[in-house]
Structure 1
Amino acid sequence: MKKEKICFFVHTEYHLLLSIHALLTQYSDSNRYEVEFILKRTTKSPRLKLDLDFSSLPCKYRFLDFDLKLNALLKAEEKQKIDEVLQLEFAEFNFFQEQDPITLIILHHYKKKGTKINLFQDGLKPYIAHSMSFSPTLWVNNIKQNLWIRKNGYTVSNWFSFINSKMYGFLKEIDQLYLTFPQSYINWNKLPVKTMSLHYTPDFVAVLKKVFLWDEALLEKRERVIFFMNQPMHDDGTFEVSVLKKLQHNYPGSTIYIKNHPITTQVKLNAYKTLDNVEIINSKIPAELFISQLENSIVLSVCSTSMFINNPDCKFYYIFAVKEQNNIERLKKYAVINPSEHIITAPNLEAIEF
């Protein structure tokens, strides 16, 4: 029997984690499936720059490395890299980001060849997109992307895609969505939705440790700790600092870890320096792997999707609804929701407890 070739087009560590989970749970039959990861990287981003070990996974992988500028044409060697991908054959193409021009080129190509196109969840966008206000910048960027695709000799599948570009699953090539909380998604264009049932299992965690070269020394204390994950919210970090200072006061015996997002700004890093007795984790290993190691601990963030996998030994809190000293302007641009059942939306800091 001819194997079905499956592709995952990956941009971030979070994408890779979800791809690994799908490989282990959905495409694990090596007699039926042949899986390949294509990892897209740029020199300007720290994403996917850590060492990775795929030896424990039944898959192929390749890196697609180049910097993209919408005001310049692709170089010959860059077009060659894209064309090498377009020469591959896949029964299914799984991707995570709709606002990437390289992805658009690949999607259109494979859709014409009858490949099934699946959009996998990335961030909170599926659950908040309907509440986002009109964004002229998003429209302009979408139009620029299409013009750039045309100038480079590729086909634009929909010149009017900008109209729905703020919505989730707006590309016409998409056949199916994969979401962790489909009950919280407003299916505005009636696409088929499949549930990603993410759970920490010994096998899943063991594979993640292997792939991301886990070092036990990264997390010396694992019980009754406060584990905070920052996010690129375009704020100055003062709200987060005020939250952590309050938790320090409430739980003086607990170690506080701050897990930096891969693109944490220097402004936030400087804000964290005002905190005493706080340990900062700069590793690019996904926060989910750290969370899997915790016991009887508090896990919190403003609204990070890295908390979507539940560790029943811990309590999870979103703090986006806390009003005290909350100066994050981005939270005013859309209605953030908590789509999960295990994460508690804290109304105030007194509600955060072990």
Structure 2
Amino acid sequence: MKEKICFFVHTEYHLLLSIHAMQYRYADTNLYEVELILKRTTKSSRLKQDLDLNSLLCKFRVLDFDLNLKRKLSNEEKQQLDTVLNLDFSEFNFFQEQDPITIIIINHFKKKGTKINLYQDGLKPYIAHTMSFSPALLLNNIKQNLWIRKNGYPITDYFSFVNCKNYGFLKGIDQLFLTFPKAYINWKRILILTITPEFTDSFVQVLKKVFKWEDALLEERNRVIFFMNQPMHDDGSFEVKVLQQLQNKYPEVTIYIKNHPLTSQVKLIAYKKLNNIEIINSKIPAELFISQLDNSIVLSVCSTSMFINNPSCKFYYIFDVATDNNIERLKKYKVINPSDHIITVNQVDAIEF
């Protein structure tokens, strides 16, 4: 009998890692049957683009509803959720712990003997222990538990708020999947498995099919500067000054700015101060763009889109540059660079081809 594997996906990054796992961990269709569940909301643009999921050797379904902790689930929403709960899986793979729907599903499947795996999402596994106490996070966790109970679903951990700022805090997690396990403080001593996504030809080709890649999205690929912004609630002025310095240093080089799907209008306005900049608004993951580059500079404040290495390029984090750095979020935790291929610089002049 085949093992039934589920991936519960919220973002394009989750989808990318799920595809990699399907291709390299669950590739044998005689042994595994994989299902993707895409959770979308009208409040976000995530996973709204035209995707070719039919090119994947798996089942897929979409959960389309908004969450509001001030109201109960509608009958239609509850029907969607209960349909998922009536499924049977050997393994349930998820990415976000701070999501009440995910918690309901985990609690349900854990009782049925399903193995629960938490896959890496962003930098949180590596910086959670440096984050300061957050009353808002604690309060939200309590509200989530009360909301789950109000909707008629069981709660397995009423005291989850105690450790909710940590990574891997949910009860029932059997394994963690991380790209840089040595950089993670395993405070719960959970079994950790390493994921090593690489830009192999087969992986890139699958990504191109799923996200419907077009070569016109990136006309120049050799010796360019590729910058990825992030939704860090700043005004973009720090990024603009860094890019201006690089523009002065390499006036002949094209600079691409890859917008994050949650990029604010404030930042978009700030970028207008720059000349000869190409802005990419595509929702296709930045990783796919990076895979197409050659002899280029890839940089960001601290984006996890850079976790997959393209050996022909140089990667830089600029979070440690102090000059004109007004990103308040960087003061709330200590950013850690867990990789070997990304260079953390403290001055823009250190960024070179």
* Smaller-chain TM-score bracket: over 0.9
* 1:289-336 deviation per Cα after TM superposition (whole angstroms, max 9, x unaligned): 000000000000000000000000000000000011100010010010
**How many aligned residue pairs are there?**
353
Partner residue, 2:90: 91
Partner residue, 1:261: 260
Aligned-partner Cα distance in 2 for 1:263–1:347: 26
Q: Secondary structure at the match of 2:63?
A: strand
Letter in 2 for 1:93: F
Partner residue, 1:306: 305
Partner residue, 1:343: 342
Partner residue, 1:17: 16
Aligned-partner Cα distance in 2 for 1:54–1:24: 14
* 1:199-238 deviation per Cα after TM superposition (whole angstroms, max 9, x unaligned): 1100000000000000110000000000000001110000
* 1:179-199 deviation per Cα after TM superposition (whole angstroms, max 9, x unaligned): 000010000110000000111
> Structure 2-normalised TM-score?
1.00
Q: 1:82: Cα distance to partner?
A: 0.2
Letter in 1 for 2:236: G
Q: 1:264: Cα distance to partner?
A: 0.3
| Runs of 4+ in structure 1 over 6 Å off | none
Partner residue, 1:74: 73
Aligned-partner Cα distance in 2 for 1:50–1:57: 16
Partner residue, 1:296: 295
Partner residue, 1:332: 331
Partner residue, 2:180: 181
Aligned-partner Cα distance in 2 for 1:177–1:9: 15
Q: 1:56: Cα distance to partner?
A: 2.4
Letter in 1 for 2:319: F
* 1:33-92 deviation per Cα after TM superposition (whole angstroms, max 9, x unaligned): 000000000000000000111222210100000011000011000000000000000000
Partner residue, 1:244: 243
Percent identity between matched residues is 73
Letter in 2 for 1:145: Q
Q: 1:157: Cα distance to partner?
A: 1.2
Partner residue, 1:168: 167
> Structure 1-normalised TM-score?
0.99
Q: Secondary structure at the match of 1:300?
A: strand
Q: Secondary structure at the match of 2:55?
A: coil
Aligned-partner Cα distance in 1 for 2:232–2:220: 28
Aligned-partner Cα distance in 2 for 1:112–1:133: 33
Counterparts of 1:1-354 in structure 2, within 5 Å, are 2-354=1-353
* 1:222-273 deviation per Cα after TM superposition (whole angstroms, max 9, x unaligned): 0000000000111000000000000000000100000000010000011011
Aligned-partner Cα distance in 1 for 2:262–2:59: 28
Q: Secondary structure at the match of 2:116?
A: strand
Which ranges of structure 1 fall in alignment gaps of 5 or more residues? Answer: none
Aligned-partner Cα distance in 2 for 1:138–1:157: 19
Q: What value does the CA root-mean-square deviation take over the aligned residues?
A: 0.4
Letter in 1 for 2:200: T
